[in-house]
Structure 1
Amino acid sequence: MKLKPKITIADHFAVIQDPRIDRRKRHNLIDIMMIAICAVICGADGWVGIETYGCAKYEWLKTFLELPNGIPSHDTFARVFAQINPQQFQSCFLDWIKSIQKLTNGEVVAIDGKTLRGSYDQSSAQSAIVMVSAWATVNKLVLGQVKVDEKSNEITAIPELLKVLELSGCIVTIDAIGCQKEIVKLITQQNADYVITLKKNQGNLYDEVEKLFHLSINTGFQGIQCSTYRTEEVGHGRHEIRNYLMLSDIPERLDPDSIWLKLNSVGMVESVRKVDGKTTVETRYFISSIENNAKQFANCVRSHWGIENSLHWILDVALREDDCRIRKDNAPQNFALLRQIAVNLLTKEKRVKRGIKNKQFLATMDDNYLARVLALA
């Protein structure tokens, strides 16, 4: 039997349309893209860094790229990535993700926005760009991202991201800004569940949920199915207790017209935190489509914040996203996707038990390791 040739990451991105109209192009688009991917994996955080990496690794890059006219200049990298269609780039990224990883049933997919602070440009009155990302909390992979329109907010970007993801069997978590009927509808249409933070300004729903919890607690949960879960953490001068409570068989008064699809339960989290002798109590409410399982609900709530620690923190600390001053045209959005590719590849490589920063350092020094990260070897 003849084996099918292995599809590489380069194959997935080779279909992007070349935005350059000059027939005298000196460099292949796929060469430009692969040098950029390799350089960002190794820690490059701008166009000069990418060119510097390319020049230093020319002989190795030549083993799998054509490079008909050597390494492109930093101006060429900047110009090309400013022109590449970000929707095409995103589409190729999604196809690549689907090819390398399948989501597990019940996996929590956290959706959250992040501001690219360095993209703010006072001289041209350009606001800082906000990207909304989807993060698979078990597999620790970025599943996709969408740029928030400059004159809008995450409410409009989240539906666009949901439309391009495959979420069947997953549990989608979103903070309060995503508490929208249309967003809930899009999630359920994909045969996925949701746990969404309830907004105080969400009509009467917040007030009714709050009243329901108070009544249920005071009456000993008569006529209402409930489940509870409790966690306690002590360390670094902090003592925190979290009480999770979930109610199902919800009375029709919460949603008499069934406008919140698959609203099967509501959740409450009471966090009692003691730091330096001072105690604070915070209560949050959630709507959910999952069945009455407070332990599962607790895992969804805690997993959601993994996008901050496992993705946003890495982007800022290891890949220095907030320091990036790339601002022109499509370049900020496309460079953000380069960073997401780097995070996914470095996370997926499991043989070296190191953090992302040290994996980047190793990839810079060891071409064989970088080849393994790229799955070229």
Structure 2
Amino acid sequence: MLDPADLNARMGSYFTAHVASSDPSGLVPIALDGKMLRGALRAKATATHLVSVFAYRARLVLGQLAVAEKSNEIPCVRALLTLLPGSLRWLVTVDAMHTQVVTAKLICATLKSHYLMIVKSNQAKILARITALPWAEVPAAATDDSRGHGRVETRTLQIITAARGIGFPYAKQIIRITRERLITATDQRSVEVVYAICSLPFEHARPTAIMTWMRQHWGIENSLHWIRDVTFDEDRHRAHTGNGAQVLATLRNTAINLHRLNGADNIAEACRITALTANRRLDLLNPQFPSSQASNQQRRSPALRWRLSSPGADSSRRGPGCWATRSSAR
């Protein structure tokens, strides 16, 4: 049986190395977020609950751990953070549950990195201090508009330099984002105010950068969770024996990562093409192995040549799985 911790460590180190090589000197923004595997619900037990580390600039999953039964995401997130290499500087974005003093110290003191954390009522004293600040006198530092899915959303960001009395370690900036949303079909309007704290000073975290990080953090649902649910039908998968659900989730993450490293934007389409194209499968599994060498290797392999040519894959036929058109279907 595969050890999920070992599998996660091996896959995570491979993709983390890719992120490091693509941006060796900069700050690597990552989001940590949890997801329930509802199909893996066992009798008299909760569904498998996994927390992932997602590098949203590269759109790669760097690690994943299961939340222990009768526990929550907080210790799991801290365990994931300790697995990150200290050679990189991270910008860790998390939801309000993880706005914790211990987590902030782990990020800044141990990892020598930085955080961007949402503040809600679970940190009531800090939230009260933040909301009491003179926001009406603070000008907008950045605005952002988006349209799509039948709605128009405007986000306005304000920033105040954090004073020592805020009561949270390493906080350098306090952020307020006002989100105004219009549903075009019904003309329904809503306003939501979100507060956050950041350990980076203004000169290293400008308003536009903070706006981008927060938007990308919220986008993990579409960039990862939605793909696992819809393309891979994860929530309906019934595997629950042993560590099966966790291992399969890691393999799904790996498939998504490999497709993205190969330049895919539409993972569902990439999966369909890969299923029909032998060259593409080899390229995904061994990106250092050039396609021309892969083709030569395939021609030297009678077993692989037989699988491609039969049944119904006659080379005289035109189709993505045939020798005549395989290169054009990539």
What TM-score range do you get, normalising by the shorter chain? Answer: 0.7 to 0.9
1:3 is aligned to: none
1:106 is aligned to: 27
**Which among 136, 160, 166 is matched to residue 55 of structure 2?**
136
| Distance verdict in 2 for CA 1:128–1:210, change over 3 Å | same
Q: Equivalent residue of 1:204, what SS?
A: helix
1:278 is aligned to: 188
**2:241 is the counterpart of 1:328:** yes
1:91 deviates by 1.8
**2:122 is the counterpart of 1:209:** no
**2:249 is the counterpart of 1:341:** no
**Which among 206, 213, 216 is matched to residue 300 of structure 1?**
213
Number of aligned pairs?
278
Task: Verify the 8 A CA contact 1:117 1:129 in the aligned structure 2.
Answer: yes
CA RMSD for the aligned pairs?
1.8
**Which among 176, 179, 182 is matched to residue 99 of structure 2?**
179
1:325 deviates by 0.5
**Which among 265, 270, 276 is matched to residue 359 of structure 1?**
270
2:37 is aligned to: 116
Task: Verify the 8 A CA contact 1:108 1:303 in the aligned structure 2.
Answer: no
Task: Verify the 8 A CA contact 1:246 1:267 in the aligned structure 2.
Answer: yes
**Which among 153, 170, 189 is matched to residue 262 of structure 1?**
170
> Counterpart of 1:182 in structure 2: which amino acid?
V
1:10 is aligned to: none
CA distance in 2, matches of 1:99, 1:194: 21
| Aligned 1:24-103 pairs, distance under 5 A | 80=1, 84-102=2-20
Task: Verify the 8 A CA contact 1:108 1:304 in the aligned structure 2.
Answer: no
Superposed CA deviations along residues 109-148 of structure 1, whole A, max 9, x for unmatched, are 0110011110112xx2121111100111111100001101
Task: Verify the 8 A CA contact 2:143 2:154 in the aligned structure 1.
Answer: yes
Task: Verify the 8 A CA contact 2:140 2:156 in the aligned structure 1.
Answer: no
> Counterpart of 1:341 in structure 2: which amino acid?
T
**What is the TM-score with the length of structure 1 in the denominator?**
0.70
Q: Equivalent residue of 2:132, what SS?
A: helix
1:240 deviates by 1.7
CA distance in 2, matches of 1:176, 1:190: 20
CA distance in 2, matches of 1:129, 1:308: 18
Superposed CA deviations along residues 169-194 of structure 1, whole A, max 9, x for unmatched, are 22110011111111111111212211
CA distance in 2, matches of 1:150, 1:99: 31
CA distance in 1, matches of 2:6, 2:68: 17
Task: Verify the 8 A CA contact 1:195 1:288 in the aligned structure 2.
Answer: yes
CA distance in 2, matches of 1:98, 1:205: 34
1:306 deviates by 2.2
The higher relative CO (CA closer than 8 Å, separation ≥ 6) is in 1
1:125 is aligned to: 44
| Distance verdict in 2 for CA 1:272–1:216, change over 3 Å | closer
Runs of 4+ in 1 over 6 A off after TM superposition: none
**2:112 is the counterpart of 1:191:** yes
Task: Verify the 8 A CA contact 1:270 1:283 in the aligned structure 2.
Answer: yes
CA distance in 2, matches of 1:202, 1:289: 17
Superposed CA deviations along residues 292-339 of structure 1, whole A, max 9, x for unmatched, are 322111011101022111111111111111111100111111111111
Gaps of 5+ in 2: 295-330
Superposed CA deviations along residues 333-372 of structure 1, whole A, max 9, x for unmatched, are 111111111111111112xx56111211121111111000
**2:238 is the counterpart of 1:318:** no
Superposed CA deviations along residues 244-275 of structure 1, whole A, max 9, x for unmatched, are 11111x233212xxxx3321011111011121
Superposed CA deviations along residues 172-223 of structure 1, whole A, max 9, x for unmatched, are 10011111111111111212211111121214111001111xx242xx35xx
Task: Verify the 8 A CA contact 2:13 2:62 in the aligned structure 1.
Answer: no
CA distance in 2, matches of 1:170, 1:159: 14
Q: Greater shift after overlay, 88-97 or 180-189?
A: 88-97
1:14 is aligned to: none
2:82 is aligned to: 163
Q: Equivalent residue of 1:107, what SS?
A: strand
Q: Equivalent residue of 1:270, what SS?
A: strand
Q: Equivalent residue of 2:241, what SS?
A: coil
Task: Verify the 8 A CA contact 1:263 1:289 in the aligned structure 2.
Answer: yes
Q: Equivalent residue of 2:85, what SS?
A: coil
Task: Verify the 8 A CA contact 1:131 1:147 in the aligned structure 2.
Answer: yes
CA distance in 2, matches of 1:366, 1:230: 45
Gaps of 5+ in 1: 1-79
**2:147 is the counterpart of 1:228:** no
Task: Verify the 8 A CA contact 1:227 1:247 in the aligned structure 2.
Answer: no
> Counterpart of 2:70 in structure 1: which amino acid?
K
